[in-house]
Structure formats: C-alpha cells, structure tokens
C-alpha cells in the first residue's frame, strides 16, 4: 500500500489519536497544576468551613488552573482547525486536479473522434499513418493542466509547412518549371509532416500530390474547427501540383 493511500485511509483515526493524546496530557497538566496550587496555597491547613467566603477562598487557591484550561482549550481548537483547513485544501486540490483531467480527456477524445471522422472522407490517408496523440500533444501542450490554448511550437510547425509550400510554389512559378525538383519537395514535406505525427512514404509524383492534398485539407480543417486558428495560419494553395 502506498504511503498516500495509507494516510488517506487513516487520517480520521490519526486525528482522533492526536486529540485523545492531547486530552490525556491536558488532564495531567490540569491535575498537576491543581495539586501544585493546593499545596502552595496552604489551604489544607485551614479548618473545615462551608460558608461562602471559605468556598471562594478555596477556589481562589486554584487560580492558575483557569488560564491553563483556557490555553489548552484554545490550542485544541487550533489543532482541529488546522486539520480541517488542511483537509479542505487537499480536497479542493484533488477536485481541481480531477476537473482538469476530465477537461483534458474530453477534449482529447473530441480531437480523436473528429480526425477519425475526417479520415473516413480522405481514403488515401491511412489511419495508421496518423499519430493523433502526438498531433494533439503538440497542438495542446498544456491540456493536462486545464489549458486548451494552442501551443507556440504548433503554430511554428504550421508556419513551417506553409513555408515549404511557399518555397515550392515560388520555384515552380519562377518561370522555369524545370527548376522544380519533385524529389526534393517530397523530402521536405515528408520530414515536416513527420514532426506533426503524420507519416507519408515516398511514392510517384501524381500519387504523392493527391495524398498531400488530402493531408493539407485535413490540417486546415483541424486548425479551423479544433484549434480555432485564423486564416493567417491556413495552408496556401499549391501551384506546383
């Protein structure tokens, strides 16, 4: 059994034992103080007297007991209060942690379901080629902490894909189509997409351009519907394909 689990299971009995031990110690101190006051006052030498004055003098001889009792009682209340506040704080932290985890799991499942649904409409993309968990962790790095803000690293990665498309577009549209090297373009796109968790194999130009189009379409949909990124981060049209 873990120490935390043992503590959670026995924290109630632990508080009871502390209070019981404290009460026993308090009774001992009070009895000792009463005995000391009784001996110090010399009241035991006095003759038996039952009138009001004698009774007052008898109780006044134990004047040290009342402050001690008040101190012990306040200390006991402080101990109980500290335990109560600690338990309430721990319960709050556990509740908050559970709520954050629930938000994370719900959002992650929504992300997975959406991509699975979109992959059904993109037949050329193999489901096994998309690492959805890696994609999600890059897009929402602080999801487990309850934050659903898109990470800067993800936006940088999307911008890198845009730059790769833009580079190929510029080469292809530069007036000399022969300068466009398809294999170099394919290598750059495969490497960049792998950072996102999307794995594409080398293939003939026509087949690669077709699957590339579906992948870029999927990325744009995810960015718009789940990441809520504006049009600035949309992947541009391909003029080389």
Q: Give tens-digit pLDDT for 160-183.
A: 999 999 999 998 887 666 778 899
Task: Judge whether residue 59 has pLDDT over 70.
Answer: no
pLDDT at residue 30, as a whole number = 76
Boundaries of every domain in the chain = 3-104, 107-233
Question: Cβ distance 219 to 157 under 8 Å?
Answer: no
- What's the average model confidence in pLDDT over 228-233? 89
Q: Which long-range contacts (C-beta less than 8 Å, at least 24 apart) are formed by 38-43? A: 38/62
Predicted confidence band of residue 100 (pLDDT cuts 50, 70, 90): confident
* 51: phi then psi, degrees, rounded to nearest 5: -80, 170
pLDDT at residue 131, as a whole number = 96
Measure Cα distances from 72 to 1, 6, 19, 66, 192 in Å.
36, 30, 12, 10, 70
The overall pTM is greater than 0.85? no
Task: Judge whether residue 51 has pLDDT over 60.
Answer: no
Q: Give tens-digit pLDDT for 109-143.
A: 999 999 999 999 988 999 999 999 999 999 999 99
Chain centre distance of CA 53: 69
- What's the average model confidence in pLDDT over 42-65? 56
Cα separation of 40 and 48, whole Å? 18
- What's the average model confidence in pLDDT over 11-18? 70
Residues contacting residue 171 through CB under 8 Å, at least 6 positions apart: 179, 180, 181, 240
pLDDT at residue 56, as a whole number = 59
């Amino acid at each position: 059994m873990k120490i935390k689990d043992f503590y959670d299971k026995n924290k109630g009995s632990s508080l009871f034992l502390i209070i019981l031990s404290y009460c026993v110690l308090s009774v001992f101190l009070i009895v000792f103080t009463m005995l000391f006051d009784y001996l110090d006052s010399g009241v035991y030498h006095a003759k038996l007297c039952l009138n009001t004055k004698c009774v007052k003098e008898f109780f006044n001889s134990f004047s040290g007991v009342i402050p001690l009792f008040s101190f012990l009682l306040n200390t006991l209340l402080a101990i109980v209060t500290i335990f109560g506040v600690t338990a309430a704080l721990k319960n709050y932290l556990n509740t908050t942690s559970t709520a954050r985890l629930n938000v994370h799991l719900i959002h992650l499942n929504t992300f997975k379901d959406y991509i699975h649904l979109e992959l059904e409409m993109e037949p050329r993309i193999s489901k096994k080629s998309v690492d959805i968990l890696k994609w999600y962790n890059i897009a929402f790095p602080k999801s487990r902490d309850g934050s659903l803000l898109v990470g800067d690293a993800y936006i940088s990665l999307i911008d890198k894909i845009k730059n790769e498309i833009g580079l190929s577009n510029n080469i292809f549209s530069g007036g000399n189509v022969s300068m466009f090297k398809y294999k170099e373009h394919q290598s750059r796109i495969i490497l960049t997409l792998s950072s996102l968790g999307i794995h594409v194999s080398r293939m003939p130009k026509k087949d690669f351009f077709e699957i590339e189009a579906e992948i870029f379409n999927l990325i744009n949909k995810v960015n718009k519907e789940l990441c809520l990124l504006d049009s600035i981060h949309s992947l541009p049209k391909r003029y080389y394909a």
